[in-house]
Amino acid sequence: MENGLGTNYRTDPKVRARIDKALAYLTTHEEELLTKEVGKYPLDEGIEVRVQSYDTREYDTMSYETHRDHIDLHYMISGQEYVRWWDKGTVEPNTEYDEVEDIIFYPHPPRHNRALLTDHHYVLVYPEDMHAAHGNVDGKVSHNRKIVVKISVL
């Protein structure tokens, strides 16, 4: 599943090649990623793989975020969660931009879309999409193993 208004990113051959490489890696290395230590791993120029392991949480405790210099590819290895998103143009940020982490945080928007991630599902979140991940499904906590790939748009 792709979402967002990222038409420029979808047609940029360099960025599209990075997305394709990341997806190919994820789908062919799932067994390895199930046991790989939590952390950050470079995959190629402009592509960083982040292995995560965590419990989901209630929507009220989730923060929305955006990035200027990269696309997030959220790929669920094991578990389930809701990822919510909305166009950042409608909400004022509640923090300053952090250049080192390439992140800015936002309060909850007045409305949002959501995608259910279960095993082997992914979502691409573009820089113009504020998003909040790790959401409980049906009010139940799930322990998840997820990969977030940071794909540079520069």
Q: What is the CATH number of the domain that holds 45?
A: 2.60.120.370
Q: What is the pLDDT of residues 113-122, one digit of tens each?
A: 999 999 999 9
User: Are the C-beta atoms of 149 and 47 separated by less than 8 Å?
Assistant: yes
User: Quick check: is 95 in a domain?
Assistant: yes
* 94, part of any domain: yes
In a domain, 1, yes or no: no
Q: Which of 27, 72, 65 is nearest to 48 (CA)?
A: 72
Query: How many folded domains does the chain comprise?
Result: 1
pLDDT digits (tens, 9 = 90+) for 96-111: 999 999 999 999 999 9
- What's the average model confidence in pLDDT over 75-103? 94
DSSP single-letter state for residue 1: -
Q: How far is CA 139 from CA 3, 14, 81, 110, 112, in A?
A: 24, 40, 10, 21, 18
Q: Residue 51 domain-assigned? A: yes
- Residue 40 belongs to a domain: yes
The answer to whether residue 2 is domain-embedded is: no
Domain that holds residue 12: 7-152
- Taking the C-alpha atoms of residue 74 and residue 77, their distance in angstroms, rounded to an integer, is 10
Provide the percentage of residues in the chain whose pLDDT is more than 90.
85
